[in-house]
Structure 1
Amino acid sequence: MWLLLAGFVLLVCGADAGPVIDFKTVPDFGKMYHVKGELSLPHSEIQEPFEAWYDLEGNRSRIDYRNGTVHTFLIGNDVDHGTIYKITPVTTETEIQAIKCYQLKGTKEDPIRPQAPLPDLQGFEFEKMENHTGVLCEVWKKVTQAGHKKNTYRLWVTRPEGNDSPATPHRFEMEGFNTLLESNNDKYTIDYSDFSPHTEADIFIPPLGMTCEKFPDPVEEHQILANPIQDYVSTSPISHAHRLFGPFKEKFNRQYENDKEHEERENYFIHSLRNVHSTNRAGLTYSVGINHFSDRSKAELARMTGGLLVPVKKHDVTK
């Protein structure tokens, strides 16, 4: 068996020869599929499992987080402009892990569409063939930049049956580099498994008999609360999380000395925000929130707390 890579075409020859793969054509995952995954946030030492169902033609999707602790339904043909439903345990000053239903309705300007747990590969280019966990994968790459933020995205995929069949995702990785700080200041990965181009229609039906309410304030966080994975599979260097840094600075009257400090503080804030939301999806007996320490580094927080890093709890009714 031998491999020849020329003109972006891979030929696999031998008794078990496979099809010719055109590397000018980005992988296609199909219009309907089911997949499991695990989001890894190295900065926060978090691994968050999820399971997703996607139906583009049916204009609907569902993503469950933390082994089914949190359920999100994005139903594009619900009501006028679609609705997002989130079923989640909530801990407050008076309740422990009470199961609540929240909803976010779409608008004419911003209708609800199904959320893919995989990145949109528009703008990606073939980079190389590489073994990943013992599987020979195509690696597709995209680089985006806005201001000082330069993000490199890579997706590892296989197409064992050729371009006419859905591709299988294996890993998605984002590495962020800040040109002002001259450092790699961000990274996260999503490892995929159990990909299947099939799903069941009833999986998209939210639980019946629940009264759903609007998402709690602040309004700026509604999109992240309703659709957590959107920021991770998007290839925009400016995410919803980045846009929340403005309200944070206003609320806590933050004024930084220069652009470099601003970039550093924004980066710490992004990591804090991700940590807060991922922790709150775990269904714990307490909830955590953003506070005036959220733009501080781990080293600064350790000094402030005498070396003891303790999450800032919004509610804890176990004491």
Structure 2
Amino acid sequence: MAATAAILFLVYLFNLSSGYVLIDDNENLDEILTLPSEYSIKAERIDLIADLKLPMELWYSTEINRSRVDVYDGMVKRYYYWGEDGAMGSDGTVYMAYPKWTEKEGHTIFCSKTDMYQETPVDAFPAEEEYVYADDMYIASFTRGFIFEQWLPTSGSDIERCRQVLQYLIQMVPNAENVDTSKTYHEGQTVDVWKFTEDDDDTRKELVLYSHRTERGEDVPVQIEKKEFNTMLGSLEKHVIFNYDQFNPLFCEEDVDAEKEGLCEWTPDDFEGHMKMLHPAFHNDLGVAFNSFKKHHARNYQNKKEHDMRRDIFHKNWKFVVDHNRQNLGFKLALNHLSDLTPAERAHMSGGRRSPNPSATVPFPHSERQVGDIVTQIPEEYDMRLQGIISPVKNQDKCGSCWTFATAAAVEGALARLDGRILDLSEQSIIDCTWEGVCEGCNGGWPKEALKHIMKHGIPLEEDYGGYLNENGYCHLENVTEVFKIRGFTLVTPLSVSAMKVALYKYGPVIVTIQNNDAFNFYRSGVFYDPTCVDDYVGHAITIVGYGSRDGTDYWIVKNSYGEQWGEDGYMLLSSSNNNCFVLDEPYYPVV
């Protein structure tokens, strides 16, 4: 019992996991990481944060510039060819074979291919340029086959103390008497330890690679552990382990021949087509995907540091999208032009704020009882887009001007209901000229204040005032000959679904401010419902242009200001249940 207590105390003292502990001095070893250039190997990717395990088999050859990745025992196969001209003269071609089911034919294997833009081959091993051989004292413990590590000072007294402790612990572990404490072992074989660390702003990335040196002088990884920390919050945000097994240096060209999958059809040479062929679990697919993203969105970064930062953000969002879509929650997400932005940059775009004292110049004209009567007489579904009174979707870009776009869209719709004309009003004029009180242009503002401004000063056409700048500009309303004013604005009865439907059918569009998050930012299709929305001061202003129902779920039709590439051609179907994301807290419509 005393021995057990001593062991537990020592394990606690050194913050080590359960199991036996070994020291690796690794003297007189070649400190250059030499990864194999041709091989086949089996692997599993374990995401400890998402609790997901992905079995893989990989083939790789720099001799013939080809590689292949299978997942789930070959259920899905990807072939990568470099140096072959694709349909658009790209760096190569990626082929993907996967099962497809139809009621007529049942399961068949479908093969598609697309151009690939990446200069280096897809390798199973992530080779960081700055891997450092671990020549400091290294403590490794093994728990359920996973390796956890802790670096200790290497002063003489500490080394001797650790050796004594470790020797004692090893004596207490059955069948460990023949273990050499001068080496690190994994799965019964001696391994070398390599480490890569990178600090960038509030993120710290750590990679540890455990490799076995072959008689050919190649370092074959047996495990790679990746961790990513948010140093500001002190949280572990990413923890992935790759376990490798059954390494084979012999390579058969037939194994990477995509032609055996049959006739492969070309998919569109665009970002969306590429993303159907790739997966965020494969670290080398990241290079292909990010290059396609940069080309599609015309991204040019200042330097390598920013490039790598944007790539890591893109990768994190890609995994978020894939993990969400596999849950089948009723709506789908997709990567878009926001995928490489930091959370702070996306939050800056959400510049719509709710007033602490909601008020209006024109009272809502219906009592709760009247609303109950009217809502039974109006259509069950109503879409203003079908009435020809909604202007095209616009893109606010990185300026936090959503409050101006939502307001201008509502005024455009109200004026179109009046005389049938669809006007293109100037959001830039609201940014430049509405600085009374709390509004701060691209730093955010209140739709209510924008409505007050249009009541008093009016809003001009964009062609008269000048185009959207995506920046704060000089107010020059005095140079515009014609402006459009509203008589006032109305606050729809808050938290009332029926009142909102009545307002939309009789008076809309309606401006609302919601709490948006990553799921909202990457929305693609379906009825959006997110119970994780948090009611804080940051919000996003949108315009509601109708309502409807799909598969028994009621929704609002949202016109957003992220461009037509976002959502369903710039629109979202937002669930009307449970005041989702606080959509009914403060709804306004302009009175013309």
TM-score range, shorter chain: 0.5 to 0.7
Q: Which residue of 2 aligns with 1:290?
A: 333
Answer whether contact 2:94 2:277 (CA < 8 A) is retained: no
What is the aligned counterpart of 2:97 among 87, 104, 107? Answer: 87
Deviation per CA, 1:39-67: give whole Å up to 9, x if none.
11122221110100001021111111111
Partners of 2:224 and 2:209 in 1: how far apart?
5
The 3-state SS of whatever aligns with 1:226 is: coil
Partners of 2:254 and 2:227 in 1: how far apart?
37
More strand by share: 1
Partners of 1:287 and 1:88 in 2: how far apart?
24
Answer whether contact 1:72 1:227 (CA < 8 A) is retained: no
Q: Match for 2:32: what amino acid?
A: T
Distance 1:54 1:152, change over 3 A: same
Deviation per CA, 1:179-202: give whole Å up to 9, x if none.
222211111111000011111011
Matched, 1:191 2:243: yes
Q: Which residue of 2 aligns with 1:149?
A: 203
Q: Which residue of 2 aligns with 1:178?
A: 230
Q: Which residue of 1 aligns with 2:323?
A: 275
| Deviation, structure 1 residue 224 | 7.4
Q: Which residue of 2 aligns with 1:125?
A: 132
Deviation per CA, 1:224-251: give whole Å up to 9, x if none.
73364543797x9xx949x89xx9xxxx
- More displaced 10-residue stretch of structure 1: 152-161 or 127-136: 127-136
| Deviation, structure 1 residue 31 | 1.5
Q: Match for 2:244: what amino acid?
A: Y
| Deviation, structure 1 residue 132 | 2.4
The structure with more radius of gyration:
2
Deviation per CA, 1:47-101: give whole Å up to 9, x if none.
1101000010211111111110111111113224311111123469999765322
Q: Which residue of 1 aligns with 2:27?
A: 9
Distance 1:204 1:230, change over 3 A: same
Q: Which residue of 1 aligns with 2:264?
A: 211
Q: Which runs of 5+ in 1 are unaligned?
A: 11-20, 248-264, 305-319
| Deviation, structure 1 residue 212 | 1.3
Answer whether contact 1:49 1:67 (CA < 8 A) is retained: yes
Partners of 1:180 and 1:4 in 2: how far apart?
32
Q: Which residue of 2 aligns with 1:53?
A: 59
What is the aligned counterpart of 1:136 among 169, 190, 198? Answer: 190
| Deviation, structure 1 residue 288 | 8.5
Deviation per CA, 1:96-138: give whole Å up to 9, x if none.
76532222213xxx34642101111421001245332333321
Partners of 2:517 and 2:110 in 1: how far apart?
29
Q: Which residue of 2 aligns with 1:257?
A: none
Answer whether contact 1:30 1:166 (CA < 8 A) is retained: yes
Answer whether contact 2:225 2:242 (CA < 8 A) is retained: yes
The 3-state SS of whatever aligns with 1:203 is: helix
The 3-state SS of whatever aligns with 1:225 is: coil
Partners of 2:228 and 2:74 in 1: how far apart?
30
Distance 1:124 1:287, change over 3 A: farther
Distance 1:4 1:240, change over 3 A: closer
Partners of 1:57 and 1:29 in 2: how far apart?
14
Q: Which runs of 5+ in 2 are unaligned?
A: 1-22, 139-182, 298-312, 335-515, 521-528, 534-592
Partners of 2:57 and 2:317 in 1: how far apart?
27
The 3-state SS of whatever aligns with 1:272 is: helix
Q: Match for 1:273: what amino acid?
A: V
Partners of 2:331 and 2:27 in 1: how far apart?
50
Q: Please, what TM-score do these two structures have when normalized by structure 2?
A: 0.37
Partners of 2:111 and 2:220 in 1: how far apart?
33
Answer whether contact 2:279 2:285 (CA < 8 A) is retained: no
Answer whether contact 1:166 1:197 (CA < 8 A) is retained: no
Q: Which residue of 2 aligns with 1:309?
A: none
Q: Which residue of 2 aligns with 1:102?
A: 112
Answer whether contact 1:177 1:185 (CA < 8 A) is retained: yes
Partners of 2:105 and 2:241 in 1: how far apart?
34
Matched, 1:116 2:168: no
What is the aligned counterpart of 1:168 among 212, 217, 220? Answer: 220
The 3-state SS of whatever aligns with 1:275 is: helix
Answer whether contact 1:40 1:189 (CA < 8 A) is retained: yes
More helix by share: 2
The 3-state SS of whatever aligns with 1:43 is: coil
Partners of 1:4 and 1:89 in 2: how far apart?
46
What percentage of aligned pairs have identical amino acids? Answer: 20
Q: Match for 2:333: what amino acid?
A: I
Partners of 1:146 and 1:69 in 2: how far apart?
38
Q: Match for 2:111: what amino acid?
A: C
Partners of 1:226 and 1:211 in 2: how far apart?
16
Q: Please, what TM-score do these two structures have when normalized by structure 1?
A: 0.64
- More displaced 10-residue stretch of structure 1: 204-213 or 79-88: 204-213
Distance 1:178 1:226, change over 3 A: same
Distance 1:266 1:183, change over 3 A: farther
Distance 1:208 1:231, change over 3 A: closer
